[in-house]
Copies of this chain bind each other. A is one copy, B any other.
Amino acid sequence: ENVLENVPAVYRQITAPSHPDQEYYTDSGLVIPSISYSLRTRLLSAAEKYGLSVPRQLEMVGRSASEMALQLLGGCHRINPENSHQRPRAAVLCGPHMQGAQGVSCARHLANHNVDVTIFIPNAVKVINWLQEEMNLFKCTSGVHVQNIKEMTSGSVDIIINALDSHDNEQLHAESWYKAVVNWTRSHRASVLSIDPPSYGVAIEAKWSLSIALPLPLQKSVGKIYLCDLGLPARVFTELGIKYESPFGSKFVIPLHSSE
């Protein structure tokens, strides 16, 4: 039974050009339609055209994802001077694509905040420039980068961050390195935060997921969904036929609830 059928107009401040596959709602009752990955891609490109460059977008996603992960790790109770001898440990799993670059951006901020971070990125033939730029920055932190999951930290980890999945390339799932990483996660009990999971689903079940700008229609396996404000200005939405008013209020990351 769809709880959003009779919602008053004041709570429908966002409408997409085509009927959404899925609708979500916020803690304050605002209805958030899902949009397709292709519409979202055009949204981010339009923002880029006006000056919200990919590095700016990567910085915003990395900042929001790390801020969320720091809270999930226990926030100030876990990360403080008295606790600096038992730093939380994060494994950040990144594919060779834009979502992987988002993962490395998040990992960099975590390492800057004294989290013991190990990132996995497969030894891909071709690395997109944005991912390379993030990897160069990550090298300036105390974090560790492995190219083979066997080298991943042996002990337990406090959180696994999954940025393995690309929206454009579901075939990655068939890669041997991908299967090895999935097995590795199954042998670890840490909770999983997925960054920008694709609509077609994830091989690694997540406890939480962070979607960006406007949510895609996501499957249950992505767990509890949060939406991250990318700072896209109003004109970008208008240009793509999306009636939009920010649902974020005073926050930059908000929880979403499924309407089913």
Contacts and interface: CB of A to CB of B under 8 A. Distances in A.
Interface stretch (A56-64, A151-159, A165-173): A56-64
Copies in the complex: 2
A53 B52 contact: no
B114 A236 contact: no
Contact of A234 (B62, B140, B248): B140
- Please classify how large the interface on chain A is, using the bins under 10, 10 to 19, 20 to 34, 35 or more: 35 or more
Interface in A43-81: 50-53, 55-56, 58-60, 62-63, 67, 70-71, 73-76, 78-81
A134 B82 CA distance: 40
A63 B29 CA distance: 25
A101 to B, nearest CB: 12
Contacts of A29: 81
Contacts of A111: 233-234
A30 B250 contact: no
A22 interface: no
